[in-house]
């Protein structure tokens, strides 16, 4: 029934609109995605081709999204593996970034300036840059690494192109900021407006717990997995999910850290999980640190994409897959794809 409809939509797109008619061209693609989502029948290849301008033309009072994100069975031999496709929520504000930011932008005073933080390969910074643009707010990004500039990589270039004012500081200054809970002084950034709104590294905050708790509620409506596997940076997404889990929840949570030396994050997550009687397996980053990779990691990621049609970001989910492939748990496994830029 749906095949003729999809074929007709594709033909209509090619006949009526050129690829340069961005709003109309992308609107047809949005229709296609929403139709498939509604009937739980997915065409995954469409989503990576969606341009962010598809969403910019929409009402900036709301975060455009495809929810609930689908739970997709993966064709991995020998594993009962399912992927929670939060990467399909939005092309840029994807996965856990959307979950974290929606509550933040729902509550803030839009006349204020936002100050947020991240590293050279932060997924949070591009997501925050676009979210601020959608809400017509000024945003400043404090970036770890004084040797960097707005053209150092595609992450930073995207932020700059979408209106984020970037300041680059040393790693020692960045550590000091983290230690004092992101309270910034005039010695780092000049001409900060009075009473700026601080959005912590990774989008962490009270709104994060609420937004990420929804992930577990959506999963539980469809299944009760034996294992839930999540890639982690600040640990905020994991804490949000744990907050939604029942006391003594039987699902074991595996956390694959994308950050080297995340002892504080590990202790926070494991302490909270222990208090709720939930088993957690924390796996430390083993590729040299955040943003680091190896030829072997990239090769496995490419094989996965060839097998499933799903592209993995190298900072988070590629590392998760590398661990999962070599340590497959027994039973029903749900992998939260947190998206990535």
- Written as one string, the DSSP assignment of 178-219 is HHTTT---TTTSSSPPSSPEEE-GGG-SHHHHHHHHHHHHHH
Report how far residue 105's alpha carbon sits from residue 137's, in angstroms, rounded to the nearest whole number: 10
Whole-prediction pTM value?
0.75
Provide the number of structural domains found in the chain.
Answer: 3
9 pLDDT higher than 50: no
Report pLDDT for 5.
39
Pairing of strands 332-337, 113-118: unpaired
Asked whether residue 199 falls in the same domain as residue 215, the answer is no
Q: What is the H or E stretch that residue 281 is in?
A: strand 280-283
Report how far residue 291's alpha carbon sits from residue 86's, in angstroms, rounded to the nearest whole number: 21
Distances (CA, A) of 54 to 24, 27, 57, 162, 169: 9, 7, 6, 15, 34
Asked whether residue 15 falls in the same domain as residue 139, the answer is no
Between 204 and 20, whose confidence is greater? Answer: 204
Report how far residue 309's alpha carbon sits from residue 44's, in angstroms, rounded to the nearest whole number: 7
Q: Which of 320, 324, 328 is nearest to 337 (CA)?
A: 320
Could you tell me the residue range of the domain that residue 145 belongs to? Answer: 98-203
From 203, 221, 251, the end of a domain falls on: 203
Asked whether residue 89 falls in the same domain as residue 7, the answer is no
Report how far residue 160's alpha carbon sits from residue 165's, in angstroms, rounded to the nearest whole number: 6
Report how far residue 334's alpha carbon sits from residue 72's, in angstroms, rounded to the nearest whole number: 9
| Structure tokens given for 160 | 């700059």
- 253-292: per-residue pLDDT in tens? 999 999 988 999 999 999 999 999 999 999 999 898 888 8
Asked whether residue 330 falls in the same domain as residue 227, the answer is yes
Report how far residue 30's alpha carbon sits from residue 229's, in angstroms, rounded to the nearest whole number: 29
- 58-93: per-residue pLDDT in tens? 333 455 567 899 999 999 999 999 999 999 988 888
- 203-214: per-residue pLDDT in tens? 888 888 889 999
- The band of 55, judged by pLDDT with boundaries at 50, 70 and 90, is very low
Position 62 in a domain: no
Report pLDDT for 290.
86
Position 260 in a domain: yes
From 148, 181, 203, the end of a domain falls on: 203
Asked whether residue 249 falls in the same domain as residue 309, the answer is yes
Residues whose CB is less than 8 angstroms from the CB of residue 335 and which lie 6 or more positions away in sequence, other chains included: 74, 81, 82, 83, 84, 229, 320, 324
Report pLDDT for 67.
83
Residues whose CB is less than 8 angstroms from the CB of residue 242 and which lie 6 or more positions away in sequence, other chains included: 253, 269, 272, 273, 276, 278
């Amino acid at each position: 029934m749906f095949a003729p409809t999809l074929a007709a939509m594709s033909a209509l797109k090619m006949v009526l609109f050129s690829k340069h008619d961005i709003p109309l061209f992308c609107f047809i693609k949005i229709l296609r995605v929403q139709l498939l989502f509604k009937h739980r029948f997915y065409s995954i290849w469409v989503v990576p081709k969606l341009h962010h301008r598809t969403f910019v033309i929409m009402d900036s009072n709301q975060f455009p999204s495809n929810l609930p994100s689908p739970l997709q069975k993966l064709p991995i031999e020998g594993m009962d593996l399912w992927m929670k496709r939060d990467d399909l929520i939005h092309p840029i504000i994807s996965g856990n970034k959307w979950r974290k930011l929606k509550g933040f932008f729902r509550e803030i005073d839009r006349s204020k300036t936002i100050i947020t933080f991240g590293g050279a390969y932060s997924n949070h910074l591009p997501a925050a840059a676009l979210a601020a643009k959608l809400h017509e707010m000024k945003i400043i990004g404090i970036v770890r690494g004084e040797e960097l500039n707005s053209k150092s990589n595609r992450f930073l270039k995207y932020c700059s192109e979408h209106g984020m004012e970037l300041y680059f500081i040393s790693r020692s200054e960045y550590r000091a900021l983290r230690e004092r809970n992101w309270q910034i002084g005039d010695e780092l950034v000049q001409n900060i407006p009075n009473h700026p709104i601080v959005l912590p590294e990774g989008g962490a905050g009270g709104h994060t717990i609420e937004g990420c708790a929804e992930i577990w509620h959506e999963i539980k409506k469809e299944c009760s997995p034996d294992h839930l596997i999540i890639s982690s940076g600040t640990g905020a997404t994991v804490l949000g999910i744990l907050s939604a889990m029942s006391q003594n929840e039987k699902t074991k949570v595996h956390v694959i850290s994308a950050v080297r030396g995340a002892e504080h994050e590990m202790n926070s997550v494991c302490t909270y999980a222990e208090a709720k009687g939930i088993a957690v397996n924390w796996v430390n980053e083993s590729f040299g640190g955040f943003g680091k990779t190896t030829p072997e990691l990239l090769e496995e990621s490419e094989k996965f994409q060839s097998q499933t049609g799903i592209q993995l970001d190298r900072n988070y989910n590629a590392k998760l897959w590398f661990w999962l492939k070599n340590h497959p748990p027994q039973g029903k496994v749900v992998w939260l794809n947190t998206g990535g830029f």
